[in-house]
A and B are shown apart, each in its own frame.
Chain A
């Protein structure tokens, strides 16, 4: 079922106008027909009264001279009045004086009519009037009129009204079709434009206003709104463009300064190594006795120079390493290798230093370990750093390096029996330039970057590093490295 509010504005306007017209037409046609029906009786009696007056006065002389034939002649003139069925004239005593009957209506008998009256009967009207001469009643006249034409007349009027009705409706329809156009079309135009804006996001579209009514106002507001949106959009675009330019400039600047930083680090590293090359080189030559024999004191002091130079070199290397890692410039290679040999070599290279301090350094490697896919050299750097630290901070006992597979990952634990680390220091031990105050000779301590570098390198290799320790109870540093699933299955 279609509801009125769902109709288009065009149909709404047309139907409102048609219904209004229909209502008015029905109202007036009804009144017209009603009055038409009721006036029929009045008009009929008025005509009969006129006829009676004329016929009555024409019959006066016939009544006065008792001339029935003359009266009948007078009544005969009713032939021209098609709807008068019967007519009678009585003398002043009420005796029938003359009679007229239209063909086929001869059998009608007037009743007692000796008084002036009008009677609307079944299918006929009857009028009775006195005939007056010189203020004297000389007789009576009665006319009977056929009222059956009333219905026919009504039907005829109804037919005319119906034609009028149809003509009115057609006219109203045509008029409303034209009249609704400016309203419905401007609304439709507005609606179409709004849809077009929505679909195309083109805010430069404008609707042309054709009127100054409420719809015209709506069009103006609509256009203003679009203008505002377009301005806002252009403002935003401009803003974005400006910000993009600024960001690009900032990015270029950042890249430049990053580049400068790297160049600075490279050249600083070179500049620092060049004199260090001479220091370490000549110290070595002197210590080897190549330039002549040395006293014990000279040998001892040159050894200190050599140690300090080596420490300085470590510092330079560590600073360079951490800079490279932090700026993401470090290259990580991916090669497949067995960790067993790498671990044995690293431990062996450090064993002399451990033995010099009277420490035992041993390793414990599970057999049948899977191959690793990672940067061999970086892993070696981390292992050497951890074992070196263990040797550095352990005065007696032993250092054990355990290597085993656990939960699909490779674990390397470096366990020492050294001084241990306090809870407070454990929190910051992997941060850059953090050193624990152990009261040991600082020259032997390194740069304070070793663990920070180790942590970053292990993370770069996709692994994790952690520490468990208590002051006086030694420390355990653990590395966990990922192993490719296919290597796990192939080994087992």
Chain B
């Protein structure tokens, strides 16, 4: 299955890692290195899925998710938070700010693509 995925992640190595894994499975990738650019790209590129890091420069992940959900064209797109699961309540906060789900960091390269695609599947019936 081919899809357009927007990755919002500030760490270059992690961006490369996620991009590599998803490209390897045939997904198209759009990259954003901070929250602000992420929001702009989401609006112009209209991606099928957004992968969102929580600790970002300029706008954090929660703010990005909130901003995205305010855009009428982006209410349905799955947003998956990539959380470092540091403190209790982080995941609840992600869901509350508009994320569809979350994947725990560090990611497991063996299962990561499958997890990401499951969010695409759940969006398909729409």
What is the interface of chain A, defined by CB distance below 8 A to chain B? Answer: 262, 265-267, 269-270, 273-285, 288, 290, 313, 320, 324, 329-331
Q: Which residues 80-115 of B sit at the A interface, judged by CB distance below 8 A? A: 84, 86-89, 105-110, 112
Q: Does B24 contact A (CB under 8 A)?
A: yes
Interfacial chain A residues near B14, Cβ < 8 Å = 274, 277-278, 281
Contact, CB under 8 Å: A273 / B106: yes
Chain B's closest residue to A290 (CB) is B24
B113 to chain A, nearest CB (A): 10
- Asked if A278 meets B17 with Cβ closer than 8 Å, knowing A273-B105, A284-B109, the reply is yes
Interfacial chain B residues near A274, Cβ < 8 Å = 11, 14, 84, 105
- Asked if A285 meets B88 with Cβ closer than 8 Å, knowing A278-B13, A278-B14, A280-B108, the reply is no
CA distance A324 to B16 in the complex (A): 32
Interfacial chain A residues near B88, Cβ < 8 Å = 324, 329-331
Contact, CB under 8 Å: B84 / A269: yes
Q: Return the contact of B107 from the options A267, A281, A288, A331 (Cβ within 8 A).
A: A281
B92 to chain A, nearest CB (A): 10
Q: Which residues 11-27 of B sit at the A interface, judged by CB distance below 8 A? A: 11, 13-14, 16-18, 20-21, 24
What is the interface of chain B, defined by CB distance below 8 A to chain A? Answer: 11, 13-14, 16-18, 20-21, 24, 55, 84, 86-89, 105-110, 112
Contact, CB under 8 Å: B107 / A270: no
- Asked if A277 meets B107 with Cβ closer than 8 Å, knowing A270-B55, A282-B17, A285-B20, the reply is yes
A-B contact pairs, 9 of them (CB 8 A): A269-B86, A270-B84, A274-B84, A277-B11, A277-B17, A278-B16, A278-B17, A285-B17, A324-B88
Q: Interface of chain A, helix or strand or loop or mixed?
A: helix
Chain A's closest residue to B10 (CB) is A274
CA distance A273 to B86 in the complex (A): 9
CA distance A270 to B55 in the complex (A): 9
Q: Return the contact of B109 from the options A267, A281, A324 (Cβ within 8 A).
A: A281
A271 to chain B, nearest CB (A): 9
A94 to chain B, nearest CB (A): 152
CA distance A273 to B105 in the complex (A): 7
- Asked if A284 meets B86 with Cβ closer than 8 Å, knowing A270-B55, A277-B14, A277-B17, the reply is no
Q: Return the contact of A288 from the options B17, B89, B110 (Cβ within 8 A).
A: B110
CA distance A275 to B107 in the complex (A): 11
CA distance A21 to B47 in the complex (A): 121
Interfacial chain B residues near A282, Cβ < 8 Å = 13, 17, 109
Chain A's closest residue to B24 (CB) is A290
CA distance A280 to B87 in the complex (A): 21
A306 to chain B, nearest CB (A): 10
Chain A's closest residue to B87 (CB) is A266
Chain A's closest residue to B14 (CB) is A277
Chain B's closest residue to A262 (CB) is B87
CA distance A273 to B104 in the complex (A): 10
Chain A's closest residue to B82 (CB) is A277
CA distance A480 to B121 in the complex (A): 43
B36 to chain A, nearest CB (A): 20
Interfacial chain B residues near A331, Cβ < 8 Å = 88-89
Contact, CB under 8 Å: B84 / A273: yes
Contact, CB under 8 Å: B86 / A270: yes
Interfacial chain A residues near B109, Cβ < 8 Å = 280-285, 288
A277 to chain B, nearest CB (A): 4
A72 to chain B, nearest CB (A): 150
Interfacial chain A residues near B86, Cβ < 8 Å = 265-267, 269-270, 273, 320
CA distance A463 to B109 in the complex (A): 37
CA distance A313 to B14 in the complex (A): 16
Chain A's closest residue to B106 (CB) is A277
Interfacial chain A residues near B11, Cβ < 8 Å = 274, 277-278
**Centre residue among A273, A283, A313, A331 by max chain B CB count within 10 A:** A273
Interfacial chain A residues near B105, Cβ < 8 Å = 273-274, 277
Q: Return the contact of A284 from the options B13, B55, B87, B108 (Cβ within 8 A).
A: B108
